């Protein structure tokens, strides 16, 4: 159940505040400017360990007392970080065994951040001691609204291959399998003489002459995600001991981050908080943003979530860091709100003068306040106040797009039919097609309760447990529609193939049998007899009860079925070109009774999402319409446009780059 930062009225607005980088006179300017911008929540102390504990066991809180008092005096609430994401140099020197070791066996040295091994006992003890000291010190401080444990767990040190990690991996495997026979069975160690006779023989998947046992690799991903979750849990317990009523969260990196299984993390957080950065050169960056927003809302079980970080303009870590064009930051921010965020925060408040992130944009840029960025920051603060009534409302979605970190890890393991398969790309294909049609989707775990959806899409769900397969079968039997993409249902949770023809877990449901996989050469294309084009993949499919909707017109399986339908279970055996997938999904949506948000597909580049107030029997609703394109557009809508206060009667005009949020009439 989501817990919101204590005492923040309206939507949250603010960013990471790193006052230790600035002299005190700048702090006074900061709080004045924060008020001007309407900031009500800042994240303080994310990288302050060296300032809070300059020597082992010697804590210095006076400066932080002053910062918190100052913020409180100006009515700004604090998301207080535990500062554990960057152990200071003294710590690494004192505990050299806590340094992380990469896959190649190289030690990663201090002088950056996240220089620790997640399994290091010294690190965990140091982090808990710091978190606990902060909790004791600031329990009851009136500025404290929320705890921000660590920062982006696993961002740089998701997998550590040191000996302590090896020991922890063995302990985790013992708990998972109980005995070595079960492990040998699950890992299929009869292959290549890999049978283990003693737990001490089991190491992390370190470099080997050739492919390392795939189930071992898969378990390593599971272990690593859990190991960092243990770090979070340890901090959370320390914090909760002293401040049980203050919510605790950490910032996730959905949807691009592969390392952590956020489905297992989500129930442990009081609030889903996320960091999202546009890839500046991606022309569809706004669709990638929408995917992240949809995933966060889904991780939050449909409840509001918090955008903890994004950028006002350029970042510093891409090959070319493109500045945002006028209006783009506003569109990005409100697009997150459209998808369920009840707050918009940035990295960071004031642009750093020194360090690796000095060219990363911020709310207060190097050039000061006579700038596009500052004007947009102030204006956005005003707009968030104007639309505060959307707070707590939910987003309508009738479609679930399956998303599973375990399936992601497994499908991208080595020694597979094609190294070109990217799970994220395939999920994105489907999400983008829905986005363009104006259909909002939740993301869902394959074992989740799917009852409220009409349609479920399963992009290359390679690994599926028996329970998840039964869940999907039950969904279709209960009247739901399901679309499954190639290379799905292939293996069980141990990465062992389901025999008798692919897709083992879904053969009967789909009424097909795949005899052999025919991935395409790099850049290869196949034509289908309905005019569609496929890439990446093809399969020798036999219809076994299913109707054949399209056949391969050329390529290695010419004449064979490419797209099939068995009642309301659809199968697609290639990667359709975006327009072709769009057409197919439009047909599938129509069949499933899923309509676009505005009745028909919005004009190109226009995003349309509806939020609805669950409190009034769902009667109050808001239509968010964002024109990301260069052409003026219009949508059907009626009501009060909140940003301008204009009445909209039937037709909502959306100039290029515009955003409208309409409180709808008569719902």
- Which residues are marked as active site? 152, 309
Residues 369-428, interacting with ligand GAL (CB under 6 A): none
| Pick from 328, 312, 307, 320: nearest CA to 279 | 320
Question: 136, exposed or middle or buried, with CB in 10 Å at 0-12, 13-18, 19+?
Answer: middle
| Pick from 438, 386, 442, 376: nearest CA to 623 | 438
Nearest approach, Cβ of residue 275 and ligand GAL (Å): 5
Q: Which stretch binds ligand GAL (CB under 6 A): 151-159, 377-385, 483-491, 629-637?
A: 151-159
Nearest approach, Cβ of residue 194 and ligand GAL (Å): 38
CB 558, CB 574: distance < 8 Å: no
Q: Which is nearer to ligand GAL, 18 or 120 (CB)?
A: 18
Nearest approach, Cβ of residue 100 and ligand GAL (Å): 17
Classified as helix, coil or strand, 572 is strand
Q: Which pair of tokens denotes residue 545?
A: 């009860």
CB 662, CB 641: distance < 8 Å: yes
Please identify which residue in 30, 53, 79, 152 interacts with ligand GAL, judged by CB under 6 A.
152
Residues 359-378, interacting with ligand GAL (CB under 6 A): 360
| Pick from 262, 268, 228, 229: nearest CA to 248 | 268
Residues 261-300, interacting with ligand GAL (CB under 6 A): 275, 277
Cα 553 from Cα 525, distance rounded (Å): 11
Q: Say how many Å lie between the first and final Cα of the chain, rounded.
A: 28
The three-state DSSP-derived secondary structure of 298-365 is HHCCCCCEEEEECCCCCCCCCCCCCCCCCCHHHHHHHHHHHCCEEEEEECCCECCCCCCCCCCCCCEC
Nearest approach, Cβ of residue 348 and ligand GAL (Å): 7
Please identify which residue in 27, 161, 220, 347 interacts with ligand GAL, judged by CB under 6 A.
347
Cα 520 from Cα 534, distance rounded (Å): 10
Q: Does 155 bind ligand GAL (CB under 6 A)?
A: yes
Task: Tell me the per-residue interface mask from 297 to 336 with ligand GAL, x by CB under 6 A, - otherwise.
Answer: ------------x-----x---------------------
Q: Does 79 bind ligand GAL (CB under 6 A)?
A: no
Q: Which residue has the tokens 């949508």?
A: 635
Tell me the H-state helices in 118-211. 121-138, 163-177, 180-187
Phi and psi (nearest 5°) for 664? -80, 145
Q: Which is nearer to ligand GAL, 103 or 359 (CB)?
A: 359
Q: Which is nearer to ligand GAL, 157 or 568 (CB)?
A: 157
Q: Which residue has the tokens 């020597």?
A: 55
Nearest approach, Cβ of residue 403 and ligand GAL (Å): 21
Nearest approach, Cβ of residue 658 and ligand GAL (Å): 27
Nearest approach, Cβ of residue 269 and ligand GAL (Å): 16
Classified as helix, coil or strand, 641 is strand
Nearest approach, Cβ of residue 72 and ligand GAL (Å): 24
Question: 415, exposed or middle or buried, with CB in 10 Å at 0-12, 13-18, 19+?
Answer: exposed
Q: Which residue has the tokens 């500062």?
A: 83
Q: Which stretch binds ligand GAL (CB under 6 A): 123-131, 148-156, 526-534, 563-571?
A: 148-156
Classified as helix, coil or strand, 118 is coil
Q: Which is nearer to ligand GAL, 348 or 471 (CB)?
A: 348
Cα 562 from Cα 552, distance rounded (Å): 6
Q: Does 643 bind ligand GAL (CB under 6 A)?
A: no
Nearest approach, Cβ of residue 272 and ligand GAL (Å): 16
| Pick from 438, 383, 443, 450: nearest CA to 597 | 438
Nearest approach, Cβ of residue 289 and ligand GAL (Å): 14
Please identify which residue in 151, 465, 566, 573 interacts with ligand GAL, judged by CB under 6 A.
151
Q: Which helix (H) or strand (E) holds 262?
A: helix 262-265
Cα 657 from Cα 605, distance rounded (Å): 9
Q: Which is nearer to ligand GAL, 309 or 376 (CB)?
A: 309
How far lies 62's CA from each of 45, 47, 235, 562, 639, in Å? 13, 17, 22, 68, 52
**For residue 402, what are the β-bridge partners?**
444
CB 400, CB 449: distance < 8 Å: no
Phi and psi (nearest 5°) for 521? -65, 165
Task: Tell me the per-residue interface mask from 101 to 140 with ligand GAL, x by CB under 6 A, - otherwise.
Answer: ----------------------------------------
Nearest approach, Cβ of residue 347 and ligand GAL (Å): 4
Q: Which pair of tokens denotes residue 275?
A: 């960091």
Binding site for ligand GAL (CB under 6 A): 151-152, 155, 275, 277, 309, 315, 347, 357, 360
């Amino acid at each position: 159940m989501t817990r919101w930062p204590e005492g923040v009225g309206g939507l949250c607005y603010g960013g990471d505040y790193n006052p230790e980088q600035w002299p005190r006179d700048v702090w006074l300017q900061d709080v004045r400017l924060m008020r001007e911008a309407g900031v009500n929540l800042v994240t303080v102390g994310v990288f302050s360990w060296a300032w809070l504990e300059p020597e082992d066991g010697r804590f210095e809180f006076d400066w932080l007392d002053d910062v918190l008092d100052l913020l409180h005096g100006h009515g700004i609430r604090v998301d207080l970080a535990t500062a554990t994401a960057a152990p200071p140099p003294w710590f690494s020197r004192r505990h050299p065994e806590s340094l992380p070791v990469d896959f190649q066996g190289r030690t990663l040295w201090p002088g950056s951040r996240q220089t620790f091994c997640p399994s290091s006992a010294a690190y965990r003890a140091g982090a808990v001691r710091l978190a606990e000291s902060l909790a004791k010190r600031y329990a009851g401080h009136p500025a404290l609204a929320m705890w921000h444990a660590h920062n982006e767990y696993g961002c740089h040190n998701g997998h550590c291959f040191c000996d302590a990690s090896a020991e922890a991996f063995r302990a985790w495997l013992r708990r998972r399998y109980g005995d070595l026979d079960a492990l040998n069975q699950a890992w299929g160690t009869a292959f290549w003489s890999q049978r283990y006779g003693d737990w001490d023989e089991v190491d992390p998947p370190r470099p080997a002459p050739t492919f390392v046992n795939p189930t071992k690799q898969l378990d390593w991903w599971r272990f690593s995600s859990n190991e960092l979750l243990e770090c979070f849990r340890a901090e959370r317990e320390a914090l909760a001991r002293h401040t049980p009523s203050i919510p605790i969260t950490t910032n996730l990196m959905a949807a691009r981050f592969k390392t952590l299984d956020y489905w297992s993390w989500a129930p442990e957080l009081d609030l889903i908080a996320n960091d999202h950065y546009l890839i500046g050169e991606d022309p569809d960056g706004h669709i990638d943003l929408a995917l992240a927003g949809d995933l966060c809302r889904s991780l939050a079980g449909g409840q509001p979530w918090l955008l903890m970080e994004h950028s006002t303009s350029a970042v510093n870590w891409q090959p070319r860091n493109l500045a945002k064009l006028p209006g783009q930051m506003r569109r990005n921010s409100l697009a997150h709100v459209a998808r369920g965020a009840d707050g918009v925060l940035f990295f960071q408040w004031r642009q750093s003068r020194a360090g690796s992130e000095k060219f990363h944009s911020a709310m207060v840029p190097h050039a000061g306040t006579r700038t596009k960025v500052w004007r947009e920051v102030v204006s956005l603060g005003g707009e968030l106040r104007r639309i505060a009534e959307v707070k707590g409302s939910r987003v309508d979605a009738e479609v679930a797009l399956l998303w599973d970190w375990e399936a992601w890890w497994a499908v991208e393991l080595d020694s597979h039919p094609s190294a070109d398969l990217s799970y994220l790309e395939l999920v994105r294909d489907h999400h983008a097609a829905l986005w363009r049609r104006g259909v909002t989707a939740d993301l869902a775990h394959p074992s989740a309760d799917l009852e409220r959806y009409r349609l479920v899409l399963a992009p290359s769900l390679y690994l599926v447990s028996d329970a998840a397969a039964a869940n999907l079968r039950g969904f279709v039997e209960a009247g739901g529609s399901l679309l499954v993409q190639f290379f799905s249902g292939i293996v069980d949770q141990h990465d062992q193939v389901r025999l008798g023809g692919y897709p083992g877990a879904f053969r009967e449901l789909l009424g097909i049998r795949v005899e052999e996989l025919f991935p395409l050469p790099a850049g290869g294309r196949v034509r289908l007899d309905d005019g569609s084009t496929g890439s990446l993949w093809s399969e020798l499919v036999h219809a076994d009860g299913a109707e054949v909707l399209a056949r391969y017109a050329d390529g290695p399986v010419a004449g064979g079925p490419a797209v099939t339908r068995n009642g309301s279970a659809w199968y697609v055996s290639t990667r359709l070109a975006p327009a072709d997938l769009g057409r197919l999904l439009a047909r599938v949506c129509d069949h499933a009774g899923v309509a676009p948000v505005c009745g028909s597909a919005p004009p190109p580049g226009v995003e349309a999402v509806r939020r609805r107030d669950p409190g009034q029997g769902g009667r109050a609703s808001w239509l968010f319409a964002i024109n990301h394109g260069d052409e003026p557009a219009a949508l059907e809508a009626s009501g009060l446009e909140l940003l301008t206060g204009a009445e909209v009667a039937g037709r909502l005009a959306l100039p290029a780059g515009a955003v409208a949020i309409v409180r709808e009439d008569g719902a």
